[in-house]
């Protein structure tokens, strides 16, 4: 699996992203990090803009709402097997983690990691989720949000794909950037490995093509 991990939206390596895209352009767009947000109209508009950006890259985008697959891991696994790109957007990392657990996405994802023809992309919460731990992110995201009711609980373990945490929106023109500074301080104090990303910056993993 290849990774295109942006601090915010698509980021500043669009040409590199285009080169990384697999032959299978079917894209699963996962928006569940927004499930706890009260402003539904704003959330829907944000999703539309994301999908429009991805479509402009030549991707065939389908919105995959993990809520429809709660307790249906086999069904979700079959669904995701048809996609060459998985794109996970930003929002609340703790809400996203709950949705991934309830749908079985976290277990399915471990199986997808060995597939060379799949690209995982995303931004903000969608990249924070790859860390071994979510500790420190509660200084930015509300860990108490439980949009799925009694089914959900606070989860502190990330997907553990990376051995470090990615901290987005660092020193950026973003409303959360001051809170992000506190997360950086937390990680330093607690000796948690991390990398910061300014909005526009991207981390690329598993791609050997030349910069473009």
pTM, 2 dp: 0.95
Residue 198 confidence (pLDDT):
97
Q: Quick one: pLDDT at residue 210? A: 58
The residue to which tokens 């080169």 are assigned: 19
Phi first, then psi: give them for residue 189, nearest 5 degrees.
Answer: -65, -35
Nearest to 7, CA basis, from 166, 193, 176: 166
| CA torsion, ordered 120, 124, 125, 128, to nearest 10 deg | 70
d(CA 129, CA 122): 10
In this prediction, residue 209 carries a pLDDT of 66
In degrees, rounded to 5, the angle at the alpha carbon of residue 22 between the alpha carbons of residues 81 and 87 is 60
On whether the CB atoms of residues 65 and 102 are closer than 8 A, the answer is no
- Rounded-to-integer distance, Cα 85 and Cα 47, Å: 17
Q: Identify the segments of the chain with pLDDT beneath 50.
A: 212
Please, what are the domains in the chain?
2-205 (3.40.50.880)
Cβ atoms of 29 and 62 closer than 8 Å: yes
What is the number of alpha carbons within 13 Å of residue 111 lying toward its C-beta?
A: 12
């Amino acid at each position: 699996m290849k990774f295109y991990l942006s601090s915010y939206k698509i980021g500043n390596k669009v040409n590199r992203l285009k080169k990384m895209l697999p032959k299978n352009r079917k894209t699963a767009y996962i928006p569940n990090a927004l499930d706890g947000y009260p402003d539904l109209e704003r959330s829907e508009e944000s999703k539309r803009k994301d999908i429009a950006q991805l479509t402009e890259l030549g991707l065939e985008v389908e919105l995959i709402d993990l809520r429809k697959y709660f307790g249906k891991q086999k069904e979700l696994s079959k669904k995701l097997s048809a996609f060459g790109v998985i794109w996970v957007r930003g929002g609340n990392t703790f809400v996203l983690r709950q949705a991934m657990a309830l749908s079985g996405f976290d277990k399915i994802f471990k199986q997808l990691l060995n597939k060379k023809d799949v690209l995982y992309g995303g931004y903000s919460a969608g990249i924070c989720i790859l860390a071994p731990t979510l500790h420190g992110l509660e200084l930015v995201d509300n860990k108490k949000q439980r949009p799925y009711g009694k089914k959900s609980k606070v989860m502190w373990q990330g997907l553990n794909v990376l051995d470090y945490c990615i901290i987005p929106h660092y020193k950026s023109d973003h409303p959360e950037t001051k809170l992000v500074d506190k997360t950086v301080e937390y990680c330093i104090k607690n000796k948690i490995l991390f990398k910061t990303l300014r909005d526009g910056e991207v981390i690329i993993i598993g791609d050997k093509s030349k910069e473009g």
